[in-house]
A and B are shown apart, each in its own frame.
Chain A
Amino acid sequence: MTTSLNLDRREFVKLLGGGIVVLLTTSPSELFAQQRQYPTDVNAYLHIAPDGRITVFSGKIEMGQGVMTSQAQMAAEELGVSLGRIEMILGDTDKCPWDMGTFGSLTTRMFGPALRAACAEARLILMQLASEKLGVPREQLVVDDGIVSVKGDASRKLTYGQLAKGQAITRTLDEKAVLRSVAEFKVMGRSPKRMDGVEKVTGRAKYAADITLPGMLSARILRPPAHGAKLVSVDTARAEKVEGLTLVNQDGLVAVLHADPETAGQALQTIVAKWEVRKVDVDQDSIFDYLVKKAPEPDVRDTRGDLAAARKDAAKLFELTWRSGYKAHAPIEPHAALAEVKDGKATVWAATQTPFPTRDAVASAIGFDPANVRLITPYVGGGFGGKSSAPQAVEAARLAKIVGKPVQVEWTREEEFFYDTFDPAAVVKIASAVDAEGRITLWEYDVYFAGARSTEVFYDAPNARVRVFGAWRGAGADTHLFAVGPWRAPGANTNVFARESQIDVMAAAAGIDPLEFRLRNTKDERMRRVLKAAAGAAGWKAAPGPSGQGRAIACGIDAGTYAALVAFVKVDEATGTVKVERVVCAQDMGVVVNPDGATMQVEGCITMGLGYVFSEELRFEGGKILDKNFDSYKLPLFSWVPKIETVLVKNDELAPQGGGEPAIVPMGAVIANAVFDACGARVDRLPMTPERLLAAIRAPKAKEPAAG
């Protein structure tokens, strides 16, 4: 049943600095198989020290979403220890198992099973060791907070720490570890205070820009005035006169470095650069036609039924176009990094959501083997997808290699707004129809540049087609005049704004209550449950729109999670301003690891969503970015925030699903629909600025929606 492996255990002990080495070399279990790239060796995930303290290693990073705590909960649960025994090491490429990156609400959903499996296997092996040492069958042993004891005789016990001290072993068990069930949970399913709390409220939490090294220089880099601009000439004479300044001008990288960041910044101002700017006559208003004209070939998905016949049979065809602008990620922490290149090794501390890919990018840029580059991720001050790209780490490493000293690169807010990978502007065109019973008969859906996420047709349209013309990556992504990238639930915000607005338009035209219309058109049980749960918690009063109540519903599926939102708004029809008074979210995310943490993510989604609904839209002229700071690019403020209520719909039959993104996805539609319900005006472009809403209010009602 158990076999020893011929491995040099001293090597492992050395590697891990002593303590127990629980080595498992079974063939990949079913649990591991879910994410094949994750290692099967439990030592990659955890280390148990002689004093019983447990260090858990994860390639995921903490950027506010609470995964330091939730991963510790999962590990503690499966190991059978209290949360207090766990210390988390996150996003350190020398210590943690390889990971693609922290995005897509994947931490709990995809890494979670691997971590839990590793901890469950470790527990099983520790139990086996205890069984052998105590001479008692495993079935007669129990674990409580890392203490293995004999059932009914608590005096006969061994701690995980003692087991570690007694024998460092290599061991396999020819059986699968079983994850703890919801009924057995002691640590999961509860809401302990966040492990990062004290550090964050005392200012002791370290972010990338807070890390320093002796002799470190701070770098400021010459930036173009517009994307696509070419450097014609550069005069650095004045900067070079600054005492203590180091100038780098190499392969297009022009930078001034100084021990004092402010002095470096002032020196940068003295550089005279001439640029050749490519003129492209496109701005935030003309971009939509520009994009549709340049769209790549579509990816055709989800085709069913007979579209032509359905079009012919339609009593009325709803052909509408929905648009949304570029959005900035705008984390309050700009990109920052510190790099040291010494003795053929590079160490980089960086604000990044992708420690391993960023390590590889650094290695490639400075010509190092990735094995000689270590990427350490301190606390990240917000990401939202924007730190999936971390070019500042490469900049710091290149400069550190050139100047031979540690180099810190802190982007200014202006650089952050220039080099952000924006959520792409996008267009959705939908042609749909509904029969006399209020059932959807046709769904022709064309999306330009938002991608496929959340385009799945869960409504029962018998005749449907989805065509995706370009996304934030892949074909067509280079059509934009600046970089675009993944923005919290990439593309789904646009797709769900379009879909759920279109559904609302049809419900109103059919004279059917919008909740009833949705229920009538989907058999998806999880969706029906969250719709009813949200409506129930909100005190939904059925009536066809516009009912004058200023309330609406919208729903979506993202990251395996179902979310339905009900919003209540008040519209000032004289000014075109909207106050969101209350938002209720019902969410089915499977087993919930940390209910309060999940609730915080819902609240964050709804609050952040207010920005793209009302104000956030990047303004630009060709490759020149006009919004450079928070004075013109407006984030949601305290006074905007509604009362937010979260209902976590119980679904313990389903493994934990994603929680960081689903609730933001229906925000565009639920607010647009509530505005329609309040005043009859239909907005077809986000953000719904007061000007755009006023135009919609003043548009003849017969011609809705108004041109934006």
Chain B
Amino acid sequence: MATEIRFRLNGKPATLPYNPERTLLRALRTDLGLTGTHYGCGIGECGSCTVVVDGKAVRSCVTTLAEIQGKDVITIEGLAKGDRLHPLQRAFIEHGAFQCGYCTSGMLMNAYALTKEKKTLSREEIIDGMEDNLCRCGAHQRIIAAIEEVAGAKGGRS
């Protein structure tokens, strides 16, 4: 039986005590001090806690540590390369694709997974792929425009 949870976190090896039922969200925020991933609902409904595990967007509030054993986890803190922002992050700033910013980490990580899965996305695919991430401020139109700039049929990666 394993005595530790071992995984890759933002490109580096990470180890946590073996606590398989603990949620990834709490482990990130409390045990690892990565507070860019936010609690919103606790039942996987809002998407503000979205992180990327082995290339797929997951809701960290309903993901256990057992489920990430040996996996590759990327959080909002791992999206930029040093001071160099990811194209999605730059596009979010450029388009003003956030207001309060609380859902933004989850929006970006969900969009990141979408663009990893498929290089070019139609507007419909972006809307469909982002559908279950909630934003209360109403930045939706600009979020779509930002993702389109990076992965849309016309734009392509910047």
Query: Is this pair of chains taken from one and the same complex?
Result: yes
Give the interface of A toward B (CB within 8 A): 63-66, 193-194, 196-207, 209-210, 212, 260-262, 330-334, 379-384, 410, 412-413, 596, 600, 603-608, 629-631, 635-639, 641, 643-644
**Contacting residues, chain A, for B100 (C-beta < 8 A):** 63-64, 331-333, 379-383
Q: How far is the CA of A410 from the CA of B40 in the complex (A)?
A: 11
In the A-B complex, the 10 residue pairs with the closest CB atoms: A203-B36, A607-B138, A381-B102, A64-B100, A64-B99, A200-B101, A203-B76, A604-B138, A210-B35, A630-B45
**Contacting residues, chain B, for A205 (C-beta < 8 A):** 101
Q: How far is the CA of A379 from the CA of B101 in the complex (A)?
A: 9
Interface size class, chain B? 35 or more
Which residue from chain B places its CB closest to the CB of A200 in the assembled complex?
A: B101
Interface string of B127-145 (1 = CB under 8 A from A): 1101111111111111110
- Would you give 22 A-B contacts (Cβ < 8 Å), ordered by A? A64-B99, A64-B100, A196-B101, A197-B93, A201-B104, A203-B75, A207-B38, A209-B35, A261-B30, A331-B102, A332-B102, A332-B134, A332-B136, A333-B38, A333-B102, A380-B100, A410-B39, A603-B141, A604-B137, A630-B43, A638-B144, A639-B131
**Contacting residues, chain B, for A197 (C-beta < 8 A):** 92-93, 98
**Main DSSP-derived SS at the A contact region:** loop
CB distance from B154 to the nearest CB of A (A): 17
**Contacting residues, chain A, for B137 (C-beta < 8 A):** 64, 382, 604, 608
Q: Is B48 among interface residues, defined by CB-CB distance under 8 A? A: yes
Which of B29, B85, B103, B104 is packed against the most chain A CB atoms within 10 Å?
B104
A207 and B102 contact, Cβ closer than 8 Å, known pairs A201-B92, A202-B89: yes
B23 A262 Cβ-Cβ under 8 A: yes
A201 B93 Cβ-Cβ under 8 A: yes
CB distance from B73 to the nearest CB of A (A): 14
B45 A333 Cβ-Cβ under 8 A: no
**Contacting residues, chain A, for B6 (C-beta < 8 A):** none
Q: Is B46 among interface residues, defined by CB-CB distance under 8 A? A: yes
**Contacting residues, chain B, for A604 (C-beta < 8 A):** 99, 137-139
Partner of B131, one of A201, A203, A608, A637: A637
B102 A382 Cβ-Cβ under 8 A: yes
Which residue from chain A places its CB closest to the CB of B143 in the assembled complex?
A: A638
Interface string of B51-88 (1 = CB under 8 A from A): 00000000000000000000000011101100001000
A334 and B39 contact, Cβ closer than 8 Å, known pairs A201-B89, A261-B30: yes
**Main DSSP-derived SS at the B contact region:** loop
Q: How far is the CA of A47 from the CA of B124 in the complex (A)?
A: 50
Q: How far is the CA of A201 from the CA of B92 in the complex (A)?
A: 7
CB distance from A34 to the nearest CB of B (A): 27
A631 B43 Cβ-Cβ under 8 A: yes
B42 A636 Cβ-Cβ under 8 A: no
Q: How far is the CA of A574 from the CA of B130 in the complex (A)?
A: 28
Which of A209, A262, A379, A631 is packed against the most chain B CB atoms within 10 Å?
A262
Q: How far is the CA of A607 from the CA of B34 in the complex (A)?
A: 31
Q: How far is the CA of A198 from the CA of B93 in the complex (A)?
A: 7
**Contacting residues, chain A, for B26 (C-beta < 8 A):** 260-262
A330 and B79 contact, Cβ closer than 8 Å, known pairs A201-B85, A381-B101: no
Q: How far is the CA of A235 from the CA of B33 in the complex (A)?
A: 34
Contacts A600-B142, A630-B45 known; list 9 others, CB within 8 Å: A196-B101, A200-B104, A202-B79, A262-B26, A262-B30, A332-B103, A600-B139, A607-B139, A637-B134
Q: How far is the CA of A636 from the CA of B130 in the complex (A)?
A: 12
A635 B136 Cβ-Cβ under 8 A: yes
Q: Is B116 among interface residues, defined by CB-CB distance under 8 A? A: no
CB distance from A592 to the nearest CB of B (A): 15
Q: Is B120 among interface residues, defined by CB-CB distance under 8 A? A: no
**Contacting residues, chain B, for A382 (C-beta < 8 A):** 99-100, 102, 136-137
Q: How far is the CA of A207 from the CA of B26 in the complex (A)?
A: 16
Which residue from chain B places its CB closest to the CB of A606 in the assembled complex?
A: B138
Q: How far is the CA of A644 from the CA of B144 in the complex (A)?
A: 13
CB distance from B46 to the nearest CB of A (A): 5
Which of A194, A200, A383, A639 is packed against the most chain B CB atoms within 10 Å?
A200
**Contacting residues, chain A, for B96 (C-beta < 8 A):** 193-194, 596, 600
**Contacting residues, chain A, for B115 (C-beta < 8 A):** none
Q: How far is the CA of A410 from the CA of B29 in the complex (A)?
A: 13
B140 A202 Cβ-Cβ under 8 A: no
Q: How far is the CA of A605 from the CA of B138 in the complex (A)?
A: 7
Which residue from chain B places its CB closest to the CB of A604 in the assembled complex?
A: B138
CB distance from B75 to the nearest CB of A (A): 7
Which residue from chain B places its CB closest to the CB of A259 in the assembled complex?
A: B30
**Contacting residues, chain A, for B133 (C-beta < 8 A):** 638
A635 B134 Cβ-Cβ under 8 A: yes
**Contacting residues, chain B, for A639 (C-beta < 8 A):** 127-128, 131
Q: How far is the CA of A193 from the CA of B132 in the complex (A)?
A: 27
Partner of A202, one of B36, B39, B132: B36
**Contacting residues, chain A, for B93 (C-beta < 8 A):** 193-194, 197-198, 201
Q: How far is the CA of A325 from the CA of B48 in the complex (A)?
A: 27
B98 A201 Cβ-Cβ under 8 A: yes
CB distance from A72 to the nearest CB of B (A): 16
Q: Is B153 among interface residues, defined by CB-CB distance under 8 A? A: no
Q: Is B41 among interface residues, defined by CB-CB distance under 8 A? A: yes
Q: How far is the CA of A380 from the CA of B99 in the complex (A)?
A: 10
CB distance from A203 to the nearest CB of B (A): 2
A200 and B39 contact, Cβ closer than 8 Å, known pairs A262-B22, A600-B139, A637-B131: no
A641 B99 Cβ-Cβ under 8 A: no
Which of B93, B98, B127, B138 is packed against the most chain A CB atoms within 10 Å?
B138
